[in-house]
Amino acid sequence: MEPTFPFPKLDFVSKPSCAEIFEDWLNITKRPIPAKPPKEVKESDKDAFLLNGYSFLYEYKYSNEKAARAQVVWNEIAKMMWKPRKYVGGYGNEGLAVYYAMRDYRLENMTGFVIGSREPWIEVLALRSGASKVYTVEYRATRVLGTDRIEYMHPIDFAEKWKENVEKFDFAITFSSIEHSGLGRYGDSIDPIGDIREVQKVMCLLKKGGFFFVGLPRGADAIKYNLHRIYGRMRLSMIMAGYKWVAMYRGDSPYPQCPRREDYEVVHKLQHEIHVLRKL
The answer to whether residue 164 is domain-embedded is yes
- Residues with Cβ < 8 Å from 271, sequence gap 6 or more? 94, 217, 218, 219, 250, 251
pTM summary value: 0.94
Question: Is residue 50 a part of any domain in this protein?
Answer: no
Our count of domains for the chain comes to 1
Residue 47 lies in a domain: no
Residue ranges making up the domain that contains 254: 18-35+55-279
pLDDT tens digit sequence for 247-277: 999 988 999 999 988 889 887 677 899 999 9
Q: What is the CATH number for 132?
A: 3.40.50.150
Could you tell me if residue 2 is inside a domain? Answer: no
11 located within any domain: no
Instruction: Decide if 3 is inside a domain.
Output: no
Segment 198-227, tens digit of pLDDT:
999 999 999 999 999 999 999 999 999 989
Query: Does any domain span residue 211?
Result: yes
Ordered DSSP codes for 256-279: -----GGGGS--SS-EEEEEEEEE
Residue 4 inside a domain? The answer is no
